[in-house]
C-alpha cells in the first residue's frame, strides 16, 4: 500500500481537485497563506502605512482572514485591528463575540465591539419588532446587511482605518457573479472584479483578501488552526437566492473542479478590459451601496422606521 | 368559472411567465414573430439586398426560423433560400431531410442539400469508422459541428449568400453564456453578444434571429404551425456539458422566470460596453472557428484523418 505524499515528503492530507495538488497539513496552510499574499500584491489591496480594520464576525472566514493578515502584517508596514458588529440577536451573537474576542486576544490584535443598539438605538431584534408593529416586512439578511455595512464603515472612520478587510471567499464571489448574471446586473458584476480602489468621500475602501480561497479550504484552515467553528445560525436567516445558487455551484464544482475560479477570473478579466468603467454607478448617499437612486430603498425604509440619520 | 382571456378578447392559450402576458394562439404567434423582427432590426442582422441562407436541419428551431423569415422577407428587400446538411447518418438524417424538403416546398423557398459524402468524400458514419480504425476517439458533436459549420460556410459562398441565418434560440445562447463563464472564456462570451458583424475574408457572417425566443416558445410555434416535430436523436450524440447546463438553467428558470433573458442581455450589454473588443481573437484559418492557434485542433484532426483540404 502506498501512502500519498506531499512534495515535501510528508504524508498527504488534502487533494486540491482543481489543481491536482496533493498537500500535507503544513504545505496546505502555507499554500492558503501564499494565495492570500498573492491576491494582496496582485490586486494592490494594501499599500504602505495602511491601517486595516478586519470585520470579524467570529465565523470561519473572518477568523482565517484575521489569522492570515496578522501573519502577513510583518511583511508590510501595516497596522491591523478587528471590529465585531453586535447586531443584538440573543442566543446567536454571543458565541461569535466570544470566539472573536478570544482569537483576537490570542493573536494580540486590538479588538473592538460596535453594537446596533448603540448606533441605531435598537438591536436587530427590536428593529424587527418595530417594523412588524408598523406592518413592514423586512427582507431577511438584506436589511441587516445594510445596517451592518453602514456600521462597519462608520467604525472604520471613527477608529481611523484606511481599509476595511472582509472575509468574502471564492464561493461568495462566484455566487455573486452568478446572481448578478441572473439579474442582468452587469454593473454590479463588473464592480466585483479586480479594479483600482476608488476613494469615495465618507467611505473607507473595502478589500477581500480571501476572494480566491474556496470556502472549503477556509474551513479546513480554521480547523487546523484549532479555532472553534461557529456553526450557529442566525434565527432571522431566510432561504435566499444565494442558497439556491450555492447549491447549484457546489454541484457544478463537484463535476467540474475549477468552475468557481473560472467564474471569478472571468469577471476580473472583464473588469480589467473595461478598466472598471461600466457607465456611471450611483451609490446611495447614506449607506454607500450601489443604487440607481440618491437614497437606496433600504435607507428609505430605515427612515420610515425612524432609524436613519443623515451621515 | 372565469376563462383567462388574451388582451384581444380571445381565450387564453399561453402564459408567458417571465413577462406575465396571457396570450391566445394568434397573439402568441404574432408576438414571437414580432420579437424576431425586433431582434433583426435592433441588431441590424439583415441589410437591404441581403441574400440569406437559412441553415435548415429540419428540427424545430430551423423550421420556425424559415417560416418566420419567409414572412418577414416581404418587409425587407431580401432573398431567402435554405440549405440542409446531410451528414450521412442512416436512420436519423432521412426524417429531417424529408421534413426540411416538405416545409421549404410549402413555403415556396428554394432548398438545397449538401452532403458530407460529397464534400469530404465520406459520410459521418464513414468518418467515425475511419477515425476508429486509426485509434482516434472523436468527441461527440464537437467534431461533427466543425465539419457542418465549415460546410455551411462553403455552401453559402457557393450559392452566393451574404448572410447565414441559424436557429439558435434563447436557451442555446444562455447555455453558451454559462459554459463560457464556467470556462473563464471571456472572449467567446463577449463574441456572443450583440455587435457589429465583422466581415472576414472567406467567411459569410452568421446571424441568429431567434436568440431571444425561448426554446419552449419555438416548440409551441412550430406545433401551432402544424409542422412535424422531428424528435429523433442522432446516434452519435453523447452526454455533454451542455446537457448539464441545460438542466441547471431550466431548473433556475422555473423558479426565477426571466433568468435566461437576463443572462443573454448581460452579455449583450458587456459586448456593447466593450464595443466587441476583447483583445485580439484569432480564428482558425481553415474552419473559421475562434481558436488560439493558426489551425484549430479539430482541423488538425481532420488533416490526420486525410479529410482536410486547404480552403
Question: Do residues A253 and A310 both lie within one domain?
Answer: no
Q: Which of residues 236-275 of A touch B (CB under 8 A)?
A: 241, 244, 248, 252, 255-256, 259, 261-263, 265-266, 269-270, 273-274
Bridge partner list, B273: none
Contacting residues for B76 by C-beta, under 8 A, at least 6 apart: B40, B46, B48, B50
Q: How confident is the model at residue B279 (pLDDT cuts 50, 70, 90)?
A: low
Residues of chain B found within 8 Å of residue A212, distances taken between Cβ atoms:
none
Decide if B252 and A248 are in contact by the 8 Å CB cutoff. Answer: yes
What is the distance between the alpha carbons of residues B195 and A27, in angstroms, rounded to a whole number? 47
Q: What is the CATH number of the domain that holds A188?
A: 3.40.50.620
Is the pLDDT reported for residue B110 higher than 80?
yes
Cell of A27: 504545505
Main-chain phi, psi angles of B178, to 5 degrees? -70, -40
Give the model's pLDDT for residue B311: 44
Decide if A182 and B263 are in contact by the 8 Å CB cutoff. Answer: yes
DSSP state of A73: G
Decide if B273 and A259 are in contact by the 8 Å CB cutoff. Answer: no
Residue of A173, A177, A184 to mutate, interface with B, max B Cβ within 10 Å: A184
Q: Angle, to 10 degrees, between the axis of helix A60-72 and the axis of helix A25-42?
A: 80
pLDDT in tens, B169-195: 999 999 999 999 999 999 888 888 876
Shortest distance between the Cα of B174 and any Cα of chain A, in A, equals: 10
Please, is B301 exposed, middle or buried when counting C-beta atoms within 10 Å of its C-beta (0-12, 13-18, 19+)?
Answer: middle
Strand ordering across the sheet containing A206-207: A111-115, A79-86, A51-55, A163-165, A206-207
Give the model's pLDDT for residue A238: 80
Question: Do residues A301 and A244 both lie within one domain?
Answer: no
Instruction: Classify residue B1: in a domain, yes or no.
Output: no
What is the distance between the alpha carbons of residues A275 and A278, in angstroms, rounded to a whole number? 9
Give the model's pLDDT for residue B145: 85
What is the distance between the alpha carbons of residues A25 and A21, in angstroms, rounded to a whole number? 12
Give the model's pLDDT for residue B280: 65
Integer-rounded Cα Rg, in Å, for chain A is: 20
Q: Are B109 and B82 in contact (CB under 8 A)?
A: yes
Query: Which chain B residue has the Cα nearest residue A273?
Result: B278
Bridge partner list, B163: B52
Instruction: Classify residue B282: in a domain, yes or no.
Output: no
Report the share of chain B in percent with pLDDT over 70.
93
Q: Are B214 and B171 in contact (CB under 8 A)?
A: yes
Q: How confident is the model at residue B261 (pLDDT cuts 50, 70, 90)?
A: very high
Question: Do residues A257 and A293 both lie within one domain?
Answer: no
Higher pLDDT among residues A253 and A240, named by residue: A253
Decide if B186 and A270 are in contact by the 8 Å CB cutoff. Answer: yes
Query: What is the average pLDDT across B235-249?
Result: 89
Query: What is the average pLDDT across A84-96?
Result: 91
Residues of chain B found within 8 Å of residue A276, distances taken between Cβ atoms:
none
Q: Which of B182, B261, B279 sits opposite A256 (nearest CB)?
A: B182
Instruction: Classify residue A272: in a domain, yes or no.
Output: yes
Shortest distance between the Cα of B282 and any Cα of chain A, in A, equals: 17
Instruction: Classify residue A58: in a domain, yes or no.
Output: yes
Question: Do residues A37 and A48 both lie within one domain?
Answer: yes
Query: Which chain A residue has the Cα nearest residue B278?
Result: A273
Decide if A241 and B259 are in contact by the 8 Å CB cutoff. Answer: no
Q: Are A180 and A278 in contact (CB under 8 A)?
A: no
Q: Which of B181, B182, B266 sits opposite A184 (nearest CB)?
A: B266
Shortest distance between the Cα of A118 and any Cα of chain B, in A, equals: 39
Give the model's pLDDT for residue B16: 95
Bridge partner list, A11: A5
Residues of chain B found within 8 Å of residue A189, distances taken between Cβ atoms:
266
Contacting residues for B39 by C-beta, under 8 A, at least 6 apart: B45, B209, B210, B211, B212
What is the distance between the alpha carbons of residues A92 and A232, in angstroms, rounded to a whole number? 6
Cell of B301: 484532426
The residue with cell 457572417 is B205
What is the distance between the alpha carbons of residues A111 and A58, in angstroms, rounded to a whole number? 12
Q: How confident is the model at residue B1 (pLDDT cuts 50, 70, 90)?
A: low
Tell me which H or E stretch contains A9.
none
Residues of chain B found within 8 Å of residue A262, distances taken between Cβ atoms:
181-184
What rounded mean pLDDT belongs to chain B? 89
Give the model's pLDDT for residue A310: 47
Shortest distance between the Cα of B187 and any Cα of chain A, in A, equals: 9
Query: What is the average pLDDT across A76-91?
Result: 91
Q: How confident is the model at residue A307 (pLDDT cuts 50, 70, 90)?
A: confident
Residue of B170, B174, B182, B191 to mutate, interface with A, max A Cβ within 10 Å: B182
Q: What is the DSSP string of A202-243?
A: TBPPEE-TTTTS-HHHHHHHHHHHTPPP-----TT----HHH
Q: Are B163 and B52 in contact (CB under 8 A)?
A: yes
pLDDT in tens, B33-80: 999 999 999 999 988 889 999 999 999 999 999 999 999 887 777 899
**Tally of domains within chain A:** 2
Question: Do residues A141 and A115 both lie within one domain?
Answer: yes
CB pairs under 8 A between A and B: 70
Contacting residues for B29 by C-beta, under 8 A, at least 6 apart: B221, B224
Question: Do residues A140 and A158 both lie within one domain?
Answer: yes
Contacting residues for A189 by C-beta, under 8 A, at least 6 apart: A176, A177, A180, A181, A267, A270, B266
3-state secondary structure of B91: coil
Question: Do residues A155 and A300 both lie within one domain?
Answer: no
Give the model's pLDDT for residue A278: 63
Cell of B239: 452526454
Q: How confident is the model at residue B87 (pLDDT cuts 50, 70, 90)?
A: very high
| A278 HSE (CA, 13 A, CB side) | 24
pLDDT in tens, A123-133: 988 888 888 88
Q: How confident is the model at residue A311 (pLDDT cuts 50, 70, 90)?
A: very low
Q: Are A79 and A51 in contact (CB under 8 A)?
A: yes
**Of the given ranges (A259-263, B3-7, B8-12), which has the lowest mean pLDDT?**
B3-7
Give the model's pLDDT for residue A10: 94
Decide if A262 and B177 are in contact by the 8 Å CB cutoff. Answer: no
Q: How confident is the model at residue B277 (pLDDT cuts 50, 70, 90)?
A: low
Instruction: Classify residue B251: in a domain, yes or no.
Output: yes
Give the model's pLDDT for residue B278: 62
Bridge partner list, B112: B83
Q: How confident is the model at residue A91 (pLDDT cuts 50, 70, 90)?
A: confident
Return the beta strands (E) in A56-205 as ranges: 79-86, 111-115, 163-165
Q: Are B164 and B55 in contact (CB under 8 A)?
A: yes
Decide if B184 and A263 are in contact by the 8 Å CB cutoff. Answer: yes
Q: Which of A182, A262, A265 sits opposite B262 (nearest CB)?
A: A182
Decide if A189 and B269 are in contact by the 8 Å CB cutoff. Answer: no
Question: Do residues A209 and A292 both lie within one domain?
Answer: no
Greatest Cα pair distance in chain A: 68
> Can you give the pTM of this predicted structure?
0.89
Decide if A181 and B256 are in contact by the 8 Å CB cutoff. Answer: no
Residues of chain B found within 8 Å of residue A263, distances taken between Cβ atoms:
181-182, 184
Query: What is the average pLDDT across B285-290?
Result: 74
Instruction: Classify residue A276: in a domain, yes or no.
Output: yes
Range of the domain at A292: 281-311
CA B105 to chain CA mean position, Å: 21
Shortest distance between the Cα of B42 and any Cα of chain A, in A, equals: 19
Q: Minimal CA–CA distance to B206: which of B184, B222, B191?
A: B191
pLDDT in tens, A34-73: 999 999 999 999 888 899 999 999 999 999 999 999 998 8
| B248 HSE (CA, 13 A, CB side) | 27
What is the distance between the alpha carbons of residues B164 and B288, in angstroms, rounded to a whole number? 14
Cell of A95: 458565541
Q: Which of residues 153-192 of A touch B (CB under 8 A)?
A: 177, 180-186, 189-190
Higher pLDDT among residues B257 and A137, named by residue: B257
Give the model's pLDDT for residue A216: 96
Question: Do residues A58 and A183 both lie within one domain?
Answer: yes
Tell me which H or E stretch contains A53.
strand A51-55
Give the model's pLDDT for residue A1: 55
Decide if A274 and B274 are in contact by the 8 Å CB cutoff. Answer: yes
Q: CA quadruple A100, A101, A102, A108: dihedral positive or negative?
A: positive
Residues of chain B found within 8 Å of residue A273, distances taken between Cβ atoms:
186, 274, 277-279
Residues of chain A found within 8 Å of residue B241, distances taken between Cβ atoms:
256
Q: Which of A261, A262, A270 sits opposite B270 (nearest CB)?
A: A270
Q: How confident is the model at residue A281 (pLDDT cuts 50, 70, 90)?
A: low
What is the distance between the alpha carbons of residues A167 and A208, in angstroms, rounded to a whole number? 6
Q: Minimal CA–CA distance to A81: which of A150, A169, A158, A149?
A: A158
Instruction: Classify residue A6: in a domain, yes or no.
Output: no
Q: Minimal CA–CA distance to A308: which of A141, A143, A142?
A: A143
Q: Minimal CA–CA distance to A114: which of A141, A143, A154, A79?
A: A154
Question: Do residues A88 and A142 both lie within one domain?
Answer: yes
Decide if B263 and A177 are in contact by the 8 Å CB cutoff. Answer: no
Shortest distance between the Cα of A33 and any Cα of chain B, in A, equals: 24
pLDDT in tens, A106-120: 999 999 999 999 988
Decide if A266 and B181 are in contact by the 8 Å CB cutoff. Answer: yes
Tell me which H or E stretch contains B15.
strand B14-16
Q: Are B109 and B280 in contact (CB under 8 A)?
A: no
Residues of chain B found within 8 Å of residue A186, distances taken between Cβ atoms:
266, 269-270, 273
Decide if B273 and A279 are in contact by the 8 Å CB cutoff. Answer: yes
Question: Do residues A300 and A269 both lie within one domain?
Answer: no
Query: Which chain A residue has the Cα nearest residue B182?
Result: A259
Q: Which of B180, B182, B259 sits opposite A182 (nearest CB)?
A: B259
3-state secondary structure of B285: coil
What rounded mean pLDDT belongs to chain A? 89
Is the pLDDT reported for residue B153 higher than 50?
yes
Is the pLDDT reported for residue A175 higher than 80?
yes
Cell of B30: 404574432
Question: Do residues A187 and A255 both lie within one domain?
Answer: yes
Amino acid at each position: 500500500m502506498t501512502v500519498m505524499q506531499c512534495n515535501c515528503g510528508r504524508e498527504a492530507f488534502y487533494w486540491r481537485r482543481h489543481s491536482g495538488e496533493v498537500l500535507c497539513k503544513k504545505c496546505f496552510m502555507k499554500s492558503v497563506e501564499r494565495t492570500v499574499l498573492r491576491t494582496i500584491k496582485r490586486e494592490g489591496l494594501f499599500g504602505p502605512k495602511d491601517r486595516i480594520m478586519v470585520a470579524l464576525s467570529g465565523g470561519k472566514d473572518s477568523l482565517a482572514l484575521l489569522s492570515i493578515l496578522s501573519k502577513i502584517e510583518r511583511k508590510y508596514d501595516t497596522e491591523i485591528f478587528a471590529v465585531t458588529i453586535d447586531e443584538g440577536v440573543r442566543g446567536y451573537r454571543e458565541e461569535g463575540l466570544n470566539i472573536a474576542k478570544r482569537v483576537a486576544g490570542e493573536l494580540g490584535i486590538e479588538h473592538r465591539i460596535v453594537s446596533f443598539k448603540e448606533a441605531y438605538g435598537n438591536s436587530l431584534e427590536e428593529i424587527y419588532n418595530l417594523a412588524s408593529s408598523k406592518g413592514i416586512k423586512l427582507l431577511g439578511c438584506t436589511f441587516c446587511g445594510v445596517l451592518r455595512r453602514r456600521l462597519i464603515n462608520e467604525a472604520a472612520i471613527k477608529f481611523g482605518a484606511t481599509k476595511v478587510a472582509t472575509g468574502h471567499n471564492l464561493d461568495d464571489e462566484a455566487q455573486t457573479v452568478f446572481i448578478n448574471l441572473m439579474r442582468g446586473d452587469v454593473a454590479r458584476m463588473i464592480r466585483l472584479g479586480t479594479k483600482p480602489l476608488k476613494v469615495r468621500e465618507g467611505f473607507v475602501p473595502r478589500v477581500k483578501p480571501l476572494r480566491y480561497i474556496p470556502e472549503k479550504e477556509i474551513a479546513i484552515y480554521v480547523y487546523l488552526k484549532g479555532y472553534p467553528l461557529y456553526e450557529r445560525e442566525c434565527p432571522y436567516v431566510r432561504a435566499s437566492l444565494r442558497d439556491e445558487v450555492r447549491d447549484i455551484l457546489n454541484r457544478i464544482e463537484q463535476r467540474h473542479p475549477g468552475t468557481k475560479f473560472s467564474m471569478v477570473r472571468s469577471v476580473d478579466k472583464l473588469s480589467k478590459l473595461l478598466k472598471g468603467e461600466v457607465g456611471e454607478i450611483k451609490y446611495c448617499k447614506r449607506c454607500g451601496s450601489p443604487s440607481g437612486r440618491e437614497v437606496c430603498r433600504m435607507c428609505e425604509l430605515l427612515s420610515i422606521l425612524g432609524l436613519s440619520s443623515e451621515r
